[in-house]
Amino acid sequence: MKVLLLSKACLVGSYQTKLEAIARHDDVDLTVIVPPVWLDPAGPVTLERAHTEGYRLLVDPIRFNGQFHTYYFPKLKQRLDQLRPDLVHIDEEPYNLATWLALRLARRAGAKSLFFSWQNILRSYPFPFSLLEKKVLAGIDYGLVGNQASAKVWRQKGYGGPLRVIPQFGVDATLFQPPPQRDPGRGFVIGCANRRLVPEKGVDWVLRAVAKLPGIWRLHIAGEGPERPFLQSLAHQLNIADRVQFDGVVTSAQMPAYLQQLDALVLASVTLPNWKEQFGRVLVEAMACGVAVVGSSSGEIPHVIGEAGLIFPEKDEAALHHHLLRLMQSPELRDELGRNGRTRVLNQYTQRQIADETVAVYREIIN
C-alpha cells in the first residue's frame, strides 16, 4: 500500500527513526512530506535529515508558517496526483485547516485518511475551526490519539469512527540507553529537560523542592523561554544558584548524552485551565537511559510512568522533596527504577513498536 504522511513534527531527526521502522514493512511504500522549517514560538525548527533510509522524504513549502490552526501545504494536490497514495496520514489535529484540506484532497484522489491528535481537554473552537472540525470528524476514516484523555475528548465531540491510542513517537532504544557507568563521587544529579521554560512545566516547584535537600547535589535545567529570568531569580532567592545550571536548548541529537548524566529526571507539569500534560516524551527518553523518573499527576504522566517511577500531586513541594530525598539516599532504589523504566520502554514505547502499531492501523483501514 502507498502511504503519504504529512508532518511538521518529522523535521526532528530523532523522530525519523519511526519513519524508517514503518518503511521496513514490506507492504508499505512510504512517502513523507515535511516543510523546510517550522516557525515554532520556541524558535525555528529546521529539517534534520538524520534517518531517511527506506522511504522518500519530500520537502514542500507551507503557507502561514508558525500558525498551528491555519497553515497548510499548497502543493498537496500536485503531490497526490503524482504519488496516487492509498492512504494519507495527516499528522495534525482535526480542527486545523491543514487537516481539512488534506482530507478533502485525499477523498477526491480516492485515498483513505486518518488524523492524529494530542487534544486532551474538551474545548470548543470558534467558526470556522468548529466547522472544519465537524467536517473532519464526519469524513475521516480513522483517528489516532496520543493519550487516554484524548480518546475520551473525541468521543465526547461526536467522533464515532475507529480510534486507537498510539503515541505519536516512541524512543530509539539504541540511541537512548544507559551509560556504561555513572560516577558515584559526583554527587546526586537531578535534571529538568523541557524545550520551553514556561509556567506550566512547573520548574519553579522543582527549585523549591531541591532547595531543602541535604548533601552534595546539583540541578540541570534544559530549555529556553519566558520563565527563565524568573527561575534564575528564584534560584538566587533560595540560595541555590551555585547548584543550578541552566543549559539552554538541548537538541534531539544531544539529548541521549544529556539524560545519561542524570540520576533522576523530574517532570513537574502543572495543569492549567487550557492545558495539561499530553504525554511527556522526555520521561520515556530518560527511562530508556535507565534514569529514575519523578512526575507530577498532570494529564498523561501517571499513565506513561506506570509503576516504573514516582508520582507526586501537582504543586506538592513536600511530596516532590520526599521523592528526591529517597532517590538521593538510595542508589538501590535509583537502580531499580532505572531498570524498570527501561523495561517499560522496551515493552511499550520503542519507535519500532509505535511503528508496528501504526502499520497495523494502516492495514485495518485499507482492508
Cell of 254: 544531544
> For residue 307, what pLDDT band results from cuts at 50, 70 and 90?
very high
Fold match flag (2-170+350-366 vs 184-348): yes
Is the per-residue pLDDT at 275 higher than 80?
A: yes
Q: What's the confidence (pLDDT) of residue 163?
A: 98
The bridge status of strand 56-59 relative to strand 29-34 is parallel
> For residue 182, what pLDDT band results from cuts at 50, 70 and 90?
confident
Is the per-residue pLDDT at 277 higher than 80?
A: yes
Q: Kindly state the percentage of the chain with pLDDT values over 70.
A: 100
Residue range 218-244, pLDDT digits in tens: 999 999 999 999 999 999 999 999 999
Q: Kindly state the percentage of the chain with pLDDT values over 90.
A: 93
Domain ranges in the chain are 2-170+350-366, 184-348
Query: Topology of 2-170+350-366 in CATH?
Result: Rossmann fold (3.40.50)
**Which of 12-16, 61-65, 239-243, 357-361 bottoms out in mean pLDDT, i.e. has the lowest?**
12-16
Render the burial of 188-202: b for 16+ CB within 10 Å, e for the rest: bbbbbbbbbbbebbb
Q: What's the confidence (pLDDT) of residue 224?
A: 93
Q: What are φ and ψ of residue 343, in 5° steps?
A: -60, -40
Q: What's the confidence (pLDDT) of residue 73?
A: 98
Is the per-residue pLDDT at 42 higher than 80?
A: no
Query: Residues 215, 272: contact at Cβ < 8 Å?
Result: no
Q: What is the CA radius of gyration of the chain?
A: 21
Is the per-residue pLDDT at 184 higher than 80?
A: no
Q: What's the confidence (pLDDT) of residue 193?
A: 96
Considering only CA atoms, which of 240, 277, 250, 245 is closest in space to residue 193? 250
Query: What is the mean predicted confidence (pLDDT) over 194-214?
Result: 96
Q: What's the confidence (pLDDT) of residue 251?
A: 87
> For residue 181, what pLDDT band results from cuts at 50, 70 and 90?
confident
Q: What is the mean pLDDT of the chain?
A: 96
Is the per-residue pLDDT at 11 higher than 90?
A: yes
Question: In the CATH scheme, what is the homologous superfamily, with its name and number, of domain 184-348?
Answer: Glycogen Phosphorylase B; (3.40.50.2000)
Residue range 129-143, pLDDT digits in tens: 999 999 999 999 999
Q: What's the confidence (pLDDT) of residue 186?
A: 83
Considering only CA atoms, which of 275, 257, 240 is closest in space to residue 193? 257
Q: What's the confidence (pLDDT) of residue 43?
A: 81
Written as one string, the DSSP assignment of 269-306 is ---BTTB--S--HHHHHHHHTT-EEEEESSTTHHHHHT
Q: What's the confidence (pLDDT) of residue 14?
A: 84
Residue range 94-131, pLDDT digits in tens: 999 999 999 999 999 999 999 999 999 999 999 999 99
> For residue 291, what pLDDT band results from cuts at 50, 70 and 90?
very high
Is the per-residue pLDDT at 54 higher than 90?
A: yes
